[in-house]
Amino acid sequence: PLTVEVQLKNTGRREGAEVVQFYIQDVQASVERPIKELKGFEKVILKPGQSKVVKTVFNERSFAFYDTKQKKWVVEPGQFKVLVGSSSRDIRLTASFNID
């Protein structure tokens, strides 16, 4: 498993809400896959000045796709990215890693 943690802080003067979304991108896929796939999310409500660590755990299935030729879920080795943001169009953090 892969655990990803991000820290949020409300720097404003009012209580605020944010939805933290976690995506996976298969950079070297041998088949056509979406550019990014939503794999987890959490809504967080923070008071002014409050911080919170939000985390998600990606298991093997998080990186898999269904191979119609093999008729099973497959995880290919290669480069992947974790993308974190408030929406698919507002990515604020990325990290690359490899699966062997």
Q: What is the per-residue pLDDT across 46-98, written as a single tens digit (0 to 9) for each?
A: 999 999 999 999 999 999 999 999 999 999 999 999 999 999 999 999 999 99
Task: Label residue 83 left, alpha or beta by phi (over 0 means left) and psi (-120 to 50 means alpha).
Answer: beta
Fill in the amino acid letter for 77: P
Domains and CATH numbers, the chain: 2-99 (2.60.40.10)
Q: pLDDT of 42-59, one tens digit each?
A: 999 999 999 999 999 999
Q: Name the pTM for this structure.
A: 0.90
Q: pLDDT of 11-47, one tens digit each?
A: 999 999 999 999 999 998 888 999 999 999 999 999 9
